[in-house]
Structure 1
Amino acid sequence: MPDITEIHTVPSQVAPERLQEYGVGVFYTLPTKSALKKALKKEYITVNGVTASTATIIRGGEIVRLCVPEEKKQLKQLVFPLKVLFEDEYLALIHKPAGILVSGNSFYTIANALVQNLRPSNQADAAKPQPVHRLDYATTGILLVGKTSGCIRALNKMFEDKEVKKTYYAVAIGLMEKEGTITTPVDAKEAVSFFKVIRTVESPRFNKLNLVQLDPKTGRRHQLRKHLHSIGSPILGDKEYYLKDLVLNGKGVYLHAYALKFMHPVTKEPIEIIDPLPGKFQKIFPDQTN
Structure 2
Amino acid sequence: MKLTQTHIAPKQHTRIRLQDYAVGIFKAALTKSALKKALKKQYVTVNGNIATSATYIHGGETICLTIMQDAPPRKNFVFKLDVLFEDEYLAAIHKPAGLLVNGNSFKTIANALTQNITRSTLSDVTKPQPVHRLDFPTTGILLIGKTSSSIRALNTLFKNRAIKKTYYAVTIGVMQPEGIITTIVDGKTSKSKYKVLQTVDSVRFKKLNLVQLEPFTGRRHQLRKHLSGIGNPILGDKDYGFENLILNGKGLYLHAYSLQFTHPFTNENLYLKDELPKRFKKLFKDI
| TM bucket, shorter chain | 0.7 to 0.9
What is the one-letter code of the residue matched to 1:54?
Answer: A
Q: CA deviation at 1:287?
A: 3.1
Q: CA deviation at 1:34?
A: 4.7
What is the one-letter code of the residue matched to 2:229?
Answer: S
Task: Tell whether the 8 Å contact from 1:43 to 1:51 is kept in structure 2 after alignment.
Answer: no
SS at match of 2:110: helix
SS at match of 2:29: coil
**Normalization by structure 2: what TM-score?**
0.86
Structure 1 residues 167-186: aligned runs within 5 Å:
167-186=166-185
The residue number in structure 1 matching 2:73 is 74
In 1: Cα distance, 2:98 partner to 2:49 partner: 38
SS at match of 1:226: helix
The residue number in structure 1 matching 2:219 is 220
Aligned residues: 284
The residue number in structure 2 matching 1:120 is 119
Q: CA deviation at 1:45?
A: 7.4
In 2: Cα distance, 1:62 partner to 1:166 partner: 36
What is the one-letter code of the residue matched to 1:192?
Answer: K
Q: CA deviation at 1:103?
A: 1.3
Q: Is 1:198 matched with 2:177?
A: no
Judged with a 3 Å threshold, the aligned counterparts in structure 2 of structure 1 residues 115 and 216 are, in CA distance, closer, same or farther, namely same
Q: CA deviation at 1:247?
A: 0.7
In 2: Cα distance, 1:85 partner to 1:57 partner: 37
1:37-69 superposed Cα distances (whole Å, 9 cap, x missing partner): 66678887788xx86742687666888777766
Task: Tell whether the 8 Å contact from 1:261 to 1:271 is kept in structure 2 after alignment.
Answer: yes
Task: Tell whether the 8 Å contact from 2:45 to 2:51 is kept in structure 1 after alignment.
Answer: no
Task: Tell whether the 8 Å contact from 1:173 to 1:208 is kept in structure 2 after alignment.
Answer: yes
SS at match of 1:159: helix
1:64-99 superposed Cα distances (whole Å, 9 cap, x missing partner): 777766533423221111111111111111111000
The residue number in structure 1 matching 2:231 is 232
In 1: Cα distance, 2:238 partner to 2:40 partner: 39
Judged with a 3 Å threshold, the aligned counterparts in structure 2 of structure 1 residues 186 and 46 are, in CA distance, closer, same or farther, namely closer
In 2: Cα distance, 1:43 partner to 1:249 partner: 43
Judged with a 3 Å threshold, the aligned counterparts in structure 2 of structure 1 residues 42 and 287 are, in CA distance, closer, same or farther, namely closer
In 2: Cα distance, 1:38 partner to 1:246 partner: 38
Task: Tell whether the 8 Å contact from 1:25 to 1:130 is kept in structure 2 after alignment.
Answer: no
Q: CA deviation at 1:231?
A: 1.3
Judged with a 3 Å threshold, the aligned counterparts in structure 2 of structure 1 residues 88 and 75 are, in CA distance, closer, same or farther, namely same
Range with bigger deviation, 69-78 or 263-272: 69-78
Task: Tell whether the 8 Å contact from 1:175 to 1:208 is kept in structure 2 after alignment.
Answer: yes
Judged with a 3 Å threshold, the aligned counterparts in structure 2 of structure 1 residues 119 and 61 are, in CA distance, closer, same or farther, namely farther
In 2: Cα distance, 1:258 partner to 1:242 partner: 22
Task: Tell whether the 8 Å contact from 2:179 to 2:193 is kept in structure 1 after alignment.
Answer: yes
What is the one-letter code of the residue matched to 1:151?
Answer: S
Structure 1 residues 254-273: aligned runs within 5 Å:
254-273=253-272
Task: Tell whether the 8 Å contact from 1:41 to 1:53 is kept in structure 2 after alignment.
Answer: no
In 1: Cα distance, 2:96 partner to 2:31 partner: 21
Gaps spanning 5+ residues in structure 2: where? none
What is the one-letter code of the residue matched to 1:22?
Answer: Y
Q: CA deviation at 1:35?
A: 3.8
Q: Is 1:93 matched with 2:82?
A: no
Judged with a 3 Å threshold, the aligned counterparts in structure 2 of structure 1 residues 218 and 37 are, in CA distance, closer, same or farther, namely closer
1:199-230 superposed Cα distances (whole Å, 9 cap, x missing partner): 11110000011100011111111111111111
The alignment's C-alpha RMSD in Å is 2.8
Q: Is 1:54 matched with 2:60?
A: no
The residue number in structure 2 matching 1:284 is 283
**Normalization by structure 1: what TM-score?**
0.85
Task: Tell whether the 8 Å contact from 1:167 to 1:214 is kept in structure 2 after alignment.
Answer: yes
What is the one-letter code of the residue matched to 1:176?
Answer: M
SS at match of 1:191: strand
The residue number in structure 1 matching 2:163 is 164
SS at match of 1:113: helix
In 2: Cα distance, 1:109 partner to 1:175 partner: 37
1:245-264 superposed Cα distances (whole Å, 9 cap, x missing partner): 11100110000000100011
